[in-house]
């Protein structure tokens, strides 16, 4: 009932662990698997080890809304290969998020991940507080990176889109043209909070990415708009705390969703969402959750009266 096929990946639930949540260890991933996740996305992995930014790197602004600037801290792909192989033992689709400083750098990381057993690659071109965001705001660079990976990899390639652009549709279309198997919408929104007493930004890095409840309506709008433009699947991401947000994303056009911030409440939230989704599907007379994808597009908006 909750099973979906996402660009060839067979998921038992449409819920995917978002990148950057719960680290990259085997033990943390095991808890997620046991809770009923459909697939997991690793923290963004680069060509070399990276410490990331100093603390404070994450703060809660409002209940369920966070600002973070972790700085893509990661062990580097060579040190992460053993984790990929261990996590693969659970036989649940694993998506490895990758980043680099050039198309070939992205390809190098992605190739090693694929060889280690990654079921799909997520291209991070959109972290709002790191250099990779410069790729995600340029349709030509986006196309080049995506095409380079698609020409050389066998596994599906997803592109995590940057919402901090004038027209996310142009970037998404460039990714689709480059051969992307799907897009993830959206990454965090660039934001900042300043302490009025110290008179400086609270985060050590200064600016960061806003995630959680505050960005959910924005993410739904982006998914809704992208559904009208793209032929490839969309993975909705942003502010999922209950089953209702999952349904909302799918009605807007998402084929699957990613959950991240809400997991600070505990991984049990995944089990709760799955159970509630099954109840919603049955109660509305559907046999599969896939049947609700894009249904919000069947209504007609109010037309402006013609006064000519």
The continuous run of DSSP H or E covering 69 comes out as: none
Whether 260 and 18 have beta carbons less than 8 Å apart is answered as: yes
| Catalytic member of 21, 127, 149, 269 | 127
List the one residue out of 274, 289, 276 whose CA is nearest residue 34.
274
Say whether 237 is catalytic: no
Residue closest to 3 by CA, chosen among 99, 119, 134, 93: 93
Residues 6 or more apart whose CB falls under 8 angstroms from that of 45 comprise 24, 74, 75, 76, 77, 80, 96, 97, 98, 99, 109, 113
Q: Cα separations (Å) of 277 from 24, 188, 242, 284?
A: 27, 25, 10, 11
Active site residues: 127
């Amino acid at each position: 009932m909750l099973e979906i096929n996402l660009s060839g990946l067979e998921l038992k639930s449409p819920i995917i662990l978002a990148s950057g949540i719960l680290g990259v260890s085997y033990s943390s991933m095991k808890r997620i698997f046991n809770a009923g996740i459909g697939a997991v996305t690793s923290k963004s992995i680069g060509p070399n080890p990276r410490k990331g930014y100093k603390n404070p790197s994450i703060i809660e602004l409002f209940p369920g809304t966070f600002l973070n600037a972790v700085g893509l801290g990661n062990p580097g792909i060579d040190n992460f290969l053993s984790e990929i192989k261990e996590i693969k033992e659970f036989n649940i689709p694993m998506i490895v998020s990758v980043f680099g400083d050039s198309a070939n750098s992205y390809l190098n990381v992605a190739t090693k991940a694929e060889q280690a057993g990654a079921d799909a690659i997520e291209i991070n071109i959109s972290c709002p507080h790191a250099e990779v965001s410069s790729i995600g705001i340029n349709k030509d660079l986006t196309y080049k990176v995506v095409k380079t990976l698609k020409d050389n990899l066998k596994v599906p390639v997803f592109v995590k889109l940057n919402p901090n652009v004038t027209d996310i549709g142009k970037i998404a279309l460039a990714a689709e043209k480059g051969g992307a198997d799907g897009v993830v919408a959206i990454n965090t929104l660039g934001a900042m909070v300043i302490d009025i007493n110290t008179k400086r930004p609270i985060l050590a890095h200064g600016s960061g990415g806003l995630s959680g409840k505050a960005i959910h309506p924005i993410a739904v709008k982006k998914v809704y708009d992208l559904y009208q433009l793209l032929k490839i699947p969309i993975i909705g991401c942003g502010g999922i705390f209950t089953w209702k947000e999952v349904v909302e994303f799918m009605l807007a056009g998402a084929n699957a969703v990613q959950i991240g911030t809400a997991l600070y409440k505990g991984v049990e939230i995944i089990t709760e969402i799955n159970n509630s989704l099954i109840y919603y599907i049955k109660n509305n007379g559907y046999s599969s959750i896939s049947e609700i994808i894009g249904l919000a597009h069947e209504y007609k908006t109010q037309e402006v009266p013609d006064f000519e």
